[in-house]
Amino acid sequence: MKEREIAIQVKNLVKTYRLYDRPKDRLKEALGFGRGKKRYKEHSALKGVDLTICRGETVGIIGTNGSGKSTILKIITGVLNPTSGEVTVDGRISALLELGAGFNMEYNGIENVYLNGTMMGFSQKEIAERLPAILEFADIGEYVNQPVKTYSSGMFVRLAFAVAINIDPEILIVDEALSVGDVFFQAKCYHKFEEFKEMGKTIVFVSHDLSSISKYCDRVVLLNQGIKLGEGSPKEMIDAYKRVLVGQYPLPEIDSGVNDVDISSVSSLSTGTGSADTPGSVNANAVNPELLEYGTKKALITDCYMEDLKGNRVSAIIKGDSCRIHMTVEFREDIASPIFAMSIKNVKGVEITGTNTMFEKSFLKSVNKGEKKHIVFEQKIDLHGGDYLISLGVTGYENEEFTVYHRLYDVMNMTVISDKNPIGYYDLNAKILVEDL
């Protein structure tokens, strides 16, 4: 088997910033006054991160704000220098990191296309050959002849993205740029992503849009507080990220020097009989051995199953029929207004739909310690044929802070049987009339 070529190699990457309380402290140090006196605090944006991206891969980087996502992209593209570590890039990079970065605000759109193309190493002739494609993709009309300082943020991103993807890059790096722009432009950009993937180009993609990460990425890297927590499939890393968001992921000590954390700890859950503290208390026939479970356990999901409207426990449903998804919850503490939730994903981890008792305004009461509740979600299933995963949860708010009491991600499988699978995820049940004129 031929070894895959490496496009980007990052080894033990460290980036440390000096933070000054007052601007004059920065000036004094720059001028050499008070040598030996430390006037700053150090902040480590990246702490020994290793990363290998092969040619042709689409790799997503996710994490909370301040986790180091943008920093690592800026170092890869040469915008920032690392404090220590090695970065090797093999291939022409086109980067879309910050809207309008590298644009001259006084120049018009076309002049900025030439300016950016020149900065990327293209001749005037090469830029001229690409100009029609850039302008067609940006689609900002006569504004292309106006100074970019008059552009809206949407126009900025349209032109910047059009330049980035039409200079024939071997590596495309995108940092949250698609959060601006209308839905039609975003769809055009994602279509271009798919074209790039088919052409074997390398894409590094930072986004908070987890659905896009799940759909387009071959592999995902999870960062937090400058540390790489792990890397793996989009579904695996997105589930781990959700644990980080609610403080239910075992983070390493900041100064421990730990780089990669064994992600298997996220989903190494057993099934079968067990105590109420383990997922084994859930109906063994329903439990997915690869499910992800976490929470404070002030409330515990002790049973779950799916049945048809005749009361038969099932794992398959015919499209168009209704089913009931059952969940039993035991309360170990008094909880004010718990929220019971259910969601459905496809096998790639894309969340298709879901709801909860807060959205539906179906349960807004407090519950006492020792109580048990049986929750039933009755749904008509219009999803296209295929396999889906059901997730269940009990959450709430404590002192206005969102709290997860118990979550079971991908706890049950649901197979939808259908002989008609149009485009997308679910059936519009459209009635189409064709008439002679």
Q: What is the pLDDT of residues 215-241, one digit of tens each?
A: 788 999 999 989 999 999 988 888 888
Q: Is the pLDDT of residue 256 over 80?
A: no
- State the Cα–Cα distance between residues 57 and 156, nearest whole angstrom: 27
Class of domain 6-91+170-245: alpha beta
Helices (H) and strands (E) counted in the chain, each on its own, are: 10, 18
Q: Is the pLDDT of residue 204 over 80?
A: yes
Q: What is the CATH number of domain 269-417?
A: 2.70.50.60
- State the Cα–Cα distance between residues 354 and 215, nearest whole angstrom: 18
Report residue 228 as tokens: 């790489």
Domain with CATH 2.70.50.60 in the chain: 269-417
pLDDT of the residue at 306:
92
- Residues 430, 332 contacting (CB under 8 angstroms): no
Instruction: Give the best-scoring range by mean pLDDT among 3-12, 170-179, 203-212, 368-377.
Output: 368-377
Q: What is the pLDDT of residues 261-286, one digit of tens each?
A: 333 333 333 333 333 344 434 543 45
Residues 6 or more apart whose CB falls under 8 angstroms from that of 215 comprise 348, 350
Domain with CATH 3.40.50.300 in the chain: 6-91+170-245
Pairing of strands 299-308, 316-318: unpaired
Q: Is the alpha carbon torsion for 348, 349, 351, 354 positive or negative?
A: positive
- Residues 140, 109 contacting (CB under 8 angstroms): yes
- Residues 169, 130 contacting (CB under 8 angstroms): no
What mean pLDDT comes out for the span 326-342?
A: 96
Q: Give the closest residue to 283 by CA, choosing from 267, 302, 296.
A: 302
Position 253 confidence tier, pLDDT thresholds 50, 70, 90: low
Report residue 72 as tokens: 């690592």
Q: What is the pLDDT of residues 92-144, one digit of tens each?
A: 888 777 655 678 889 999 999 998 888 777 889 989 999 999 999 888 888 99
- Residues 421, 302 contacting (CB under 8 angstroms): no
